[in-house]
Amino acid sequence: MDERNLPDGAKKTEGRTGKRLNDFSFALTPVGCVVLIVFSIILIRSLVNRNSYEIVISCVILLLLLVLGIIGIWKSRKLNASGFEPGWKPPFPMTADSGVDETRITGLDVSVPAFFRLHFFISGRFFPEGCGFAAGLQENGKSSRKKNGCLMSVETSVPRGDTEAKIALDFPMSGIFFGDGRCRLNDIFGFYSFPCGYQKLKTVKIRCAPCFGKKIIINTQSGAEDRRNKPASNEERYHMREYTPGDRFRDINWKSSEKIDTLITRISTETQEKTSRIEVHFRNYGLGVSKPGVKRQKLGDSFSLEALWLLDRAKARLSYFLRSIRDQNASFIFDVHTAQGDWEIFDENDLDAFLEELAGLSFFPPRNENAASSGANFTNTGDLYIFSTACDTELPGFLIANSQRPVTLFLVQPGNIEGAQEPEILHARDFALKGCALPAHSRAKMKPLMVQSSKAEMFYAEIKL
């Protein structure tokens, strides 16, 4: 993504900044400043009053400050001169609300003076709305971006002698985190904090926390056919593979299956093999709100926190759907359509790459659509699987346009519906517990979306502030 299209406060940069953290103007911490001022006053007063006891105490404390300051400046400069370059490696994939995986801090194999410890800080901005909302936004011929990021900061202390450390970096929901890691040399009394080494900037995509739903069984007749010519030869007319759900029983080679005690399917190489293509539409459409009661249909508008939570849960249900279907039959091919583009998923690597991109997808302004169109490999007759939220105001029209096809709808609704099943709840305290400031998004409540579908599965999500 172009750096010009990223949110304010975020830079699409990874690796070190190329600038050492060697500015000592803020080396003295607030605690150190207070101690310095208080004991300087005590020393002056004791000299005036000729109080030897106070003179000794204040001189010892001030001398300690002086010695620690000299040692800290010397060591931090030495670390900078040696090319000290600590790094941080978040787990992959990074999943929201995991509470288990920790970020590794590496490159700490340096000696530290007595009474000092290395502290590693990770800070930056977390964008639960992703970066898609900023891409291509033009306003009066100039790029306009929103400062919707949540400030986030965590730190850890590294025991002396350790070459690695771990830090708890967790997020309440899916999105994108633009952070920088930096190391500081702190004394154990909390008087000084000296920056040292290089900054490490990273862009981390946070996938949604998993959810679970009813298991969907799909056979090869429910998808669209993907006909691919197989090369034939006079010597080999068939090839064998292990049976997968959806294979025709007449294609099972019972004689070979009996020998190895496993069902084996016989596939003709002279004919065209039918592979099911599963068509999925992830409708991440929604209207942003700039002021209460004012709707704007422009990319980059802000969204309420509840709307973002609904989108997060829709992503989770889509992820579960794709994973469970692939576990059921690895030969299925997924064609996933989103507001930002289309993906073709053939194997596990394609699926993992799509889920990583899904983490950063945000709302897109609604648009009028006709019946779902298919590519060259589709017959446009298979089942259609739709994932959407209550923010999708054009969903009813899309369902009507595709009424001739078998449609399965997965819809995430707000949890304030009477008689609805237990909603998945996101608490405001979840942000503070993870070192993240509560985002300044609208607190507007979403209204349920009324749709009619022959086969629909409803999910509910709610924000509690």
- Provide DSSP, 332-367: -EEEEE-SS-EEEE-SHHHHHHHHHHHTT---B---
Which residue type, as a one-letter code, is found at position 162? D
Residue whose C-alpha is closest to residue 150's, from 174, 116, 168: 174
DSSP for 207-265, please give it.
EPPP---PPPP--TTTSEEEEEPPP--SS--EEEEE--TT--GGGB-HHHHHHHTS-EE
Compute mean pLDDT per 10 residues along the chain, 465 residues long, and list them: 42 50 66 94 92 92 94 91 89 84 88 92 88 43 51 89 88 90 92 90 91 70 48 53 69 78 70 68 76 44 80 93 87 89 91 92 77 48 86 88 88 76 82 76 76 83 82
Per-residue confidence (pLDDT) for residue 168, from 0 to 100: 86
Strands (E), 359-435: 384-389, 407-414, 424-427
DSSP for 125-170, please give it.
EEETT-SGGGTT-EETTEE-----PEEEEEEEEE-TT-S-EEE---
Kindly report each contact of residues 42-46 with a partner whose C-beta sits within 8 Å and lies 24 or more positions away, as own/partner. Answer: none
Per-residue confidence (pLDDT) for residue 428, from 0 to 100: 79
Structure tokens at 388: 């959407």
**Phi first, then psi: what are they for 259, rounded to 5°?**
-70, -40
Task: Supply angle C-alpha 345, 346, 351, rounded to 5.
Answer: 45
Q: What share of the chain is helix, strand, coil (3-state, %, to 5)?
A: 25, 30, 45
- The rounded radius of gyration (Å) of the Cα atoms in the chain is 29
Cβ pair 411, 449 in contact under 8 A: yes
Residue 464's Cβ-side half-sphere holds a number of Cα atoms within 13 Å equal to: 9
- For the chain, the farthest-separated pair of C-alpha atoms sits apart, in whole angstroms, at 112
Strands (E), 358-455: 384-389, 407-414, 424-427
Regarding beta strands 407-414 and 94-95, do their DSSP bridges make them parallel or antiparallel, or are they unpaired?
A: unpaired
Structure tokens at 319: 């992820």
Structure tokens at 218: 């799909």
Residue whose C-alpha is closest to residue 458's, from 306, 310, 307, 280: 310
Handedness of CA 422, 423, 428, 431 (dihedral sign): positive
Structure tokens at 337: 């359509």
* DSSP label at residue 176: E
Q: Which residues of 314-351 are buried (b: 16+ CB within 10 A; e: fewer)?
A: bbbbbbbbbebbbebbeebbbbbbbbbeebebeeeeeb
Taking the chain, what is the end-to-end CA distance rounded to the nearest angstrom?
33
Alpha carbon 50 to its chain's center: 64
Residue whose C-alpha is closest to residue 104's, from 78, 86, 83: 86
Residue 280 has a CB neighbour count (10 Å cut-off) of 22
Residue whose C-alpha is closest to residue 347's, from 365, 366, 331: 331
CA distances from 372 to 281, 310, 351 (A): 9, 23, 22
Question: 304: Cβ–Cβ under 8 A, 6 or more apart, which residues?
Answer: 289, 441, 442, 443, 444, 445, 446
Per-residue confidence (pLDDT) for residue 303, from 0 to 100: 76
Per-residue confidence (pLDDT) for residue 232, from 0 to 100: 44
